[in-house]
Amino acid sequence: MPTKDYVRWFSDIRLSDVAQVGGKNASLGELYATLSAEGVRVPNGFALIAEAYRDALTAAGAWEPLHRLFDNLDKSDVEKLAKHAAEARDIVYRATATGPLRDHIDRAYRQLETEYGANVAVAVRSSATAEDLPSASFAGQHESFLNVRGADQVFEACRRCFASLFTDRAISYRVDNGFDHFKVWLSVGVMKMVRSDRAASGVIFTLDTESGFRDVVFVTGVYGLGENIVQGTVNPDEFYVHKPTFRAGRRAVLSRALGDKQMRMIYADTGSGVRNVPVSEDERARFCISDAEVLELAANAITIEDHYSRSAGHPVPMDIEWAKDGDDGLLYIIQARPETVVSQRAPTGFETYALGGSGPVLATGRAVGEKIAAGPVRVITDASQLREFKPGEILVAQSTTPDWEPVMKIAGGIVTERGGRTCHAAIVARELGIPAVVGATDAKAVLATGVMVTVCCAEGDIGRVYQGALPIKKTHVELSEVKRPRTEIMLNLGNPELAFRTAMIPNDGVGLARMEFIINEHIKVHPMALVDPEKVASAEARAEIARLVRNYARPADYFIEKLSEGVGAIGAAFYPKPVIVRLSDFKTNEYARLLGGEGFEPHEENPMLGFRGAARYAHPAYAEGFALECAALRRVREDMGLTNVRIMVPFCRRVEEARRVLDAMAGHGLKRGENGLEIYVMCEIPNNVIQIDAFAELFDGFSIGSNDLTQLTLGVDRDSEIVAFDFDERDPGMLEMFRLAVTGAKRNGRHIGICGEAPANYPEVARFLTELGIDSISVNPSSILRTMQVVSDAENAVAATPPKVAG
């Protein structure tokens, strides 16, 4: 072997020595210096550059036998592929057993020992020149080794890393992605181990991994070494941070989700290696890192993304690994590479998926992707069963490994009992474009081989496995075909889990963000039961409330945090577009169904016209609960910095009632006009229309609630099937109410919109509202494209037909 120096310390690595990033050949040393200057900690270490691999194989005459093995190999012949791969690994392993290479590794490791102490533990990780490119992740294709000690063991691990260029899975992956086996070089990084076995570690993405939404940092974490999170052995904690407001100085965690974190990977008891141990129930009930640490990691991730983006000349979302050292308590970045799946989606169009039916839910977990697939189940409990797998089947397993990828490529969908959205199964499913549900506890027990199921990832963060093959609706829309009218077309949204993906479709913001879904699905508890838990009559309800709030200083803090996170997710998704959040509008019978709610709600014969909306907010029976709503919204606007959030008061019967509500809000720190706060009112009661001039003095805008306004104008119970035929927004009386509302609001210089499906369902209503000059129309996401077309056509028709002159 030529006498070259094959070792490069991290602070002096040319990118050409290790890997290409973003299509640019820049200096990794520059990145190291940039991170250090920004306070980002990176463990010290060195790399064996790719020339070490190339020169070793040249000196050993290994290229010719390797060509014989692979030049005409048919990868579909699995047995032959495995045989040739094993021979190739043996060739590379023997070729790299050279004295000079051993000497280089020995000297570098001794230098690390002078810095960190004798027998220092290191991670030995592969890095190929075709790895971590924008078009392919190569996730898990090559070997890495943790807790390696001593120069001899480091040398052995480096040789095994070099040989792993020819694992079965790596060979198959290169063929599938069009890489030449002999134009892929491999270097090896040797990094001082961070003692995360005594603390925590995880993965960061600088975008949302499911929707591709670019304005968030997504942080995941588990106890112990990070290999568990990649392998999908555990379900991690998850956190989101909003980049635009973070950059503006608002340092707040947008949302958090507690993972099971069942296992902790630690060092083996003797010598090198690692092992898993169970995590206590108490630790599992807590997040593995603090909010302050999440924000530090987010800052690091943004710094890294900015550096790579500058180098590449275009935005480069990143996939980053982090570790917390249990000895010094500090956070370290141990790997950074471009994200290679979601960020590569073409922005020219989008597809939407929806179920065309329903059925029993057999299993739930975290949704990966946004698609739906139906097929027969194939439960895999052992790798030896993979040969039985048939194309289109739904793969069900505890977790997956890179060796399973040939089978995963032909699966219709994937369901795993363990893992989060950054585990191996999730990464591969995204790359393959198939739906996956990960962390579906007991999936193997409830899903039997041969049973037909539907895997749905189109209903938010929760992925569901339904019994039977349900109808699937797929829509593809080219952005160039979407007509954007002059009238603002906004969205109605209640589920924060759909916010990021919904924000990707054309829209002008959120015209109606409903609190009720967040309270019902995420909080589950009546607000007054959190204000005064001792008044909850049911012992069972008290116990469940105590379980939900166990990690909070006050029960009320649970409500404030959960509601602010739900509203914040919607506000962040559409930032800086307006998001109009309606205060809670449950009826008393709906409030009573919340946990602990029965004792706080009166029985009413007609809840639709009873104690609801604005009537509750300043009333002694609910004033303390309303204070929690206000505290959550104040946190969204002030702590999170989401000042695009506007507040809307529902079902406000009288002007005096409006004044009482506004006074109560001001008393809770939500004063109209302060910090740009705009407060709207629902225009859904005839009195709102009749007294629109008086209401306009108190509010910044109106939103016509066509459902309640139609019900109260026509005297029709919208929930009664027997009189449903009389419920019609096109009735002349309703059109006159619309006219009075729109013209009245505009007369007072106030914003006026409508939140309802009437403009989407009835083109004549859309044209009528367009003629009146309504400012915005807000509809459900499934109707927005149709509404844009209808309103655009209506605007064109109005433009072509001059208005009639009176007289």
* Sign of torsion over alpha carbons 494, 495, 500, 505: negative
DSSP string, 217-228: EEEEEEEB-THH
Residue (of 453, 339, 351) closest to 394 by Cα position: 453
Q: Is it true that the peptide bond before 576 is cis, omega within 30 degrees of 0?
A: yes
Is 755 marked active-site? yes
Q: Tell me how far apart the alpha carbons of residues 74 and 65 are, in angstroms, rounded to a whole number.
A: 17
How many CB atoms are located within 10 Å of the residue 566 CB?
27
Query: Which among 294, 315, 293 has a CA at the least distance from the CA of 304?
Result: 315
Residues 546, 551, 552, 558, CA torsion sign: negative
Give the C-alpha distances (Å, rounded to integers) separating 401 from 70, 266, 322, 370, 650.
Answer: 24, 20, 21, 23, 51
Active-site hit among 424, 457, 526, 630 = 424
Instruction: Give the CA-trace dihedral at 27, 33, 36, 37, to 10 degrees.
Output: -130
What are the structure tokens assigned to 203, written together? 């993965």
Cβ–Cβ < 8 Å for 165, 128: yes
Residue type, 738: F
Neighbouring residues of 301: CB distance < 8 A, sequence distance ≥ 6: 204, 206, 217, 219, 318, 320
Structure-token match 């619309």, residue found: 738
Is 104 known to be catalytic?
no
DSSP structure class, residue 279: P
What does the alpha-carbon distance between residue 407 and residue 426 come to, in Å, rounded to a whole number?
15
Residue 721 structure tokens: 């099937």
Report the b/e string of 24-63 with b at 16+ CB within 10 A. eebbbbebbebbeeeebbbbebbbbbbbbbebbbeebebe
CA-based nearest residue to 422, from 453, 390, 399: 399
Q: How far is CA 181 from the centre of its chain?
A: 35
| Gap between the Cα atoms of 535 and 290, Å rounded | 33
**Where are the strands (E) in 254-348, listed by range?**
255-257, 263-267, 274-278, 318-324, 331-338
**304/306 Cα distance (integer angstroms):** 5
How open is the CA angle 594-574-203, to the nearest 5 degrees? 80
Indicate the angle between helix axes 706-714 and 732-747, nearest 10 degrees: 120
Rounded distance between C-alpha atoms, residue 753 and residue 578, angstroms: 13
User: Residue 470: exposed, middle, or buried by beta-carbon count in 10 A (0-12, 13-18, 19+)?
Assistant: middle
Contact (Cβ atoms closer than 8 angstroms) between residue 263 and residue 577:
no
Dist. CA 169–CA 179, nearest whole Å:
13
Q: How far apart are CA 424 and CA 401, in angstroms?
A: 7
What is the spatial distance between Cα 251 and Cα 295, in angstroms, rounded to a whole number? 7
- Tell me the C-alpha distance between 644 and 579, whole Å: 6
The catalytic site residues sit at 424, 755
